[in-house]
Amino acid sequence: MTLTAKSFLRLMMLVALTTPAYALTQTSPANESGQYVALHPLPPTAPGDVNLLPGAPVVHTQANIAYISGGIGGGQRAAMRATAPNYNLHLLFAVEGSGAYLSDVKVTAANQQGDVVLDATSDGPYFMAKLPPGTYQITADDGTGGTQTREVKVPAHGAAPISFFWQSSQE
Give the pLDDT confidence of 16-37 residue by residue, as tens digits: 444 444 443 334 344 455 544 4
Mean pLDDT, residues 87-116 taken together = 93
Residue ranges of domains in the chain, CATH in brackets: 50-166 (2.60.40.10)
Q: What percent of the chain has pLDDT over 70?
A: 66
Position 6 pLDDT exceeds 60: no
Which pLDDT does position 118 carry in this prediction? 96
Which pLDDT does position 58 carry in this prediction? 86
Q: pLDDT, tens digit, for every residue of 104-152?
A: 999 999 999 999 999 999 999 999 999 999 999 999 999 887 899 999 9
Q: How far is CA 47 from CA 51, 105, 141, 154, in A?
A: 11, 28, 32, 22
* Torsion (CA) 131, 137, 138, 143 in degrees, nearest 10: -140
Name the least confident of 43-52, 53-62, 91-100, 110-119. 43-52
The Cα–Cα gap between 17 and 59 comes to: 26
The DSSP secondary structure of the chain, one letter per residue, reads ----HHHHHHHHHHHHHHS-HHHHH-PPPB-TT--B--S--SPPPPTT-GGGSTTPPPPEEETTEEEEEE--SHHHHHHHHHHGGG-SEEEEEEETTT--B--S-EEEEE-TTS-EEEEEE-SSSEEEEEPPSEEEEEEEE-SSS-EEEEEEEE-SSS-EEEEEEE--TT-
Which pLDDT does position 21 carry in this prediction? 44
